[in-house]
Amino acid sequence: MGARTGWKDVRDRIHAQILNGRYEPGDKLPRDADIAEDLMCARATVQRAMQDLSEKGLIERRRKGGTHVRRDPVARATLSIPLMRREIEDGGGVYGYRLIAREMAEPPERVRRAMGAGAPAELLHVTALHLSDGAAHALEDRWVNTAVVPEILVIDLSTISANEWLVGNKPYSRFTLEISAERADPGTAALIGAEPGAALLMIDRTTWAGEAPITAVRARMAPGYTLPTRS
Q: Give contact residues for its own copies (rule: CB under 8 A).
A: 15, 18-19, 25, 57, 71-83, 86, 167-168, 171, 173-183, 197-202, 205, 209-210, 221, 223-227, 229, 231
- The C-alpha atoms of residue 60 and residue 70 are separated, in whole angstroms, by 6
Q: Tell me which stretch binds DNA (CB under 7 A): 28-36, 88-96, 117-125, 133-141.
A: 28-36
31 near DNA, rule: CB under 7 A: yes
Among 17, 51, 127, 146, binds DNA (CB under 7 A): 51
45 near DNA, rule: CB under 7 A: yes
153 binds, among its own copies, DNA, none (CB under 5 to 8 A by kind): none
Q: Which residue from 73, 62, 74 is spatially nearest to 23, judged by alpha carbons?
A: 73
Residue 68 near residue 60 (C-beta atoms within 8 A): yes
| 184 Cα distance to chain centroid | 23
- The C-alpha atoms of residue 209 and residue 216 are separated, in whole angstroms, by 12
| 11 Cα distance to chain centroid | 26
Q: Which residues touch 89 (CB under 8 Å, ≥6 apart)? A: 95
* CB neighbours of residue 13 within 10 Å: 14
168 near DNA, rule: CB under 7 A: no
Each residue 53-72 as x (binds DNA by CB under 7 A) or -, in order, gives: -x------xxxxxxx-----
Nearest approach in angstroms of CB 209 to its own copies is: 7
| Interacting residue ranges for DNA, rule: CB under 7 A | 3-9, 29, 31-33, 40-45, 47-48, 50-51, 54, 61-67
